[in-house]
Chains A and B, each alone.
Chain A
Amino acid sequence: MGSVALRDIRKSYGAVEVLHGIDLDVADGEFVVLVGPSGCGKSTLLRSLAGLETISGGEISIDGSSIVHLHPKSRDIAMVFQNYALYPHMNVAKNMGFPLQMAKVSKSEIDEKVAKAAEILSLTQMLKRYPKQLSGGQRQRVAMGRAIVRDPKVFLFDEPLSNLDAALRVQMRTEIKGLHQRLGTTIVYVTHDQIEAMTMADKIVVMKDGHVEQIGAPLDLYDRPANRFVAGFIGSPAMNFMPAKVENGQAVLENGAVLAPAPEGLTEGQAFTAGVRPEHLMVADQGASANVTVVEPTGAELQFVVDLAGTPTLVSTRDRLHLRLGDTLHLEVEAGRLHAFDSETGVRLG
């Protein structure tokens, strides 16, 4: 069992408050990903959970009992660090066995557990090597092994993949996901890479400036972002935003071109910020007209930027269009894919 509850977590460094009351529930066995831009407090929140930082206020509990006053080692939580934090003077087996050695587990039991973890992580051949003799991906696996052997209630990961190259990152992503399915342990995972978040998470927590912006399943966040920040942060390439107005039940751009039917909940004449994902804009025979300014074929899909009523707007499509700079075309929004946000507060409308 390993359900985690955070209530009104606050953390200040001197006079500066960096976490402004975070509430979060993690169910047993859930894979929760914290995302947000750099400096938003993800690591601070994770380290508070681990006990490496003392919080200034709030309540943390695991399986219903408070752990705020416990030392890191008594919290039954294991953490994997961004720089792996392996002990350079110990070989792989010693590194992985270290938590057990500290817990005064017998030698034979340590060997057994390390061998088992090494097998799960395909490290059996590497047990006698030292960290400097391993590749980045292997080091990452050793760091995970050190967490696994303890069989903790919760795993914490702080940007574990950010030191790896792109291909390895994709591979390790799958491995961590597979590990989670196999062990079924609760995971709280920090990243600033929203693709990592989308692909791995059961539940995503989007943070900004020490606040939680939205909590939800990956597709909920993609389909119904709670505000403009989340809308822009989740999804790649990012959502396009443009000023618009409701006229005759239609969302109309600044130059009078009609984009799509206005989303429900908006009143006639109301000004708002329209949001459309690049993949939801389609080239059509009619609709708002736009000039092509940049064309970028990526192979699988074609991305191009158009000037839509004065706003540079990215469109991506799987169709093999033959576009040249300066071409004029018409764009439509896929039905029900137009998002509306308050122009001032950024809150979702309707």
Chain B
Amino acid sequence: MNRSSDRWLAYFLILPVVAAVLAFVLGPTWDVATLSLTQFVMGQERGFGTLVNFEALWADPVFGTVVVNTAIWILGGTVFCVLTGLAVGAYLAIDSKVTTALRALILLPWVLPDVVTAMAWKWMLHGQVGVIGDAFTRVGLSDQPISFLGDPDLVMWMLVIVLVWRKMPLVALILCAAIRSVPAEQIEAARMDGANAFQRFRHVILPNISFSLTAVTVISMIWITAEFTLPWVMTGGGPANSSQIMSTYIYQQSFQFFNWGVGSAMSVVNLVFLMAVVGLYLYINRRSWAAGGSK
């Protein structure tokens, strides 16, 4: 064996992975990118190398709503997911019988299939037969049944609440684990130094878990961006596009209206956004990576 044959062996060994990435990641991405630059009329290709799809997207009156809704969905969802996850994780990190049991139970929303979650919440939030609206009227919080998913001003926030319910548990568990791995001596030292519970959280725990916190924030953001079943099954983008977000709109345009051009143009916008998120994450954590994962 000499050096050059070693190298060929190495290339040979990574070949399957390279092939898989080419076939399943780069290939479809390339397809979508070229598709977005191709004009379609009635499902027929009519010329390549045009920006008409992006122009159409820009001119589409729904596009503005989609952007605002997507911002609420992704940013609102991520912020609430991480904040509630942090609060719940901090609570679960306390040693007690209750929290030990809760640590297992809390994963329940996580293990339910998406469609089941979506259907269950859809019916619970239903205007006429939903238990939640019913409870509201019984307690006297509202005179008439509220149609949570039928109200254009409310519907996006309802989706975010369900999203947080579904995604927060894992965030909470990851942050709980991170909090529990903060060295006990540091916390005790802070107690001796006169820090109260809030100050210990702010000055000792938070900096110690900052790596997990950024990681979990970015991962949530990616999950939420990719989440499709929940909004699609619950509202299908309605009423009247008022809960339309990127993923549902792409689906609707591509597979219901066969508007491939606009769908792929939107996918490209989506992809650019996701890459920006990942880039931001790598940038924030550049020092941590170099230092081997810990601060």
Q: How many residues of B contact A (CB 8 A)?
A: 19
**B208–A79 CB distance below 8 A:** no
A15 interface hit (Cβ, 8 Å): no
**B207–A83 CB distance below 8 A:** no
| Partner of A79 from B186, B189, B207 at Cβ < 8 Å | B189
**B207–A99 CB distance below 8 A:** no
Interface string of A47-83 (1 = CB under 8 A from B): 0001110000000000000000001110001110111
**A73–B193 CB distance below 8 A:** yes
**B186–A73 CB distance below 8 A:** no
| Partner of A102 from B193, B207, B208 at Cβ < 8 Å | B193
Interface string of B191-218 (1 = CB under 8 A from A): 1111110010001100110100000000
B183 interface hit (Cβ, 8 Å): yes
Q: Can you list 15 A-B pairs, Cβ within 8 angstroms, ordered by A?
A: A51-B191, A72-B192, A83-B185, A85-B183, A85-B185, A85-B186, A85-B188, A86-B186, A87-B189, A87-B207, A89-B210, A90-B207, A98-B203, A99-B194, A146-B189
**A73–B192 CB distance below 8 A:** yes
A89-B188 contact in complex given A99-B194, A102-B195, A103-B194, C-beta closer than 8 Å: no
**A89–B193 CB distance below 8 A:** no
A88 interface hit (Cβ, 8 Å): yes
Interface string of B219-238 (1 = CB under 8 A from A): 00000000000000000000
A interface residues, Cβ below 8 angstroms from B: 50-52, 71-73, 77-79, 81-83, 85-90, 98-99, 102-103, 146, 150
Which residues of chain B are within 8 angstroms of A103 by Cβ–Cβ distance? 194
In the complex, A50→B208 CA distance in Å?
A: 24
Which residues of chain A are within 8 angstroms of B186 by Cβ–Cβ distance? 85-87
Q: How far is the CB of B251 from chain A (nearest CB, A)?
A: 44
A81-B188 contact in complex given A89-B295, A98-B203, C-beta closer than 8 Å: yes
In the complex, A195→B177 CA distance in Å?
A: 41
Q: How far is the CB of B213 from chain A (nearest CB, A)?
A: 13
Chain A residue nearest in CB terms to B184:
A85
| 16 further interface pairs, Cβ-Cβ under 8 Å (given A89-B207, A90-B207) | A50-B192, A52-B188, A73-B192, A73-B194, A73-B195, A79-B188, A81-B188, A85-B183, A85-B186, A85-B188, A88-B207, A89-B208, A89-B210, A102-B194, A103-B194, A146-B193
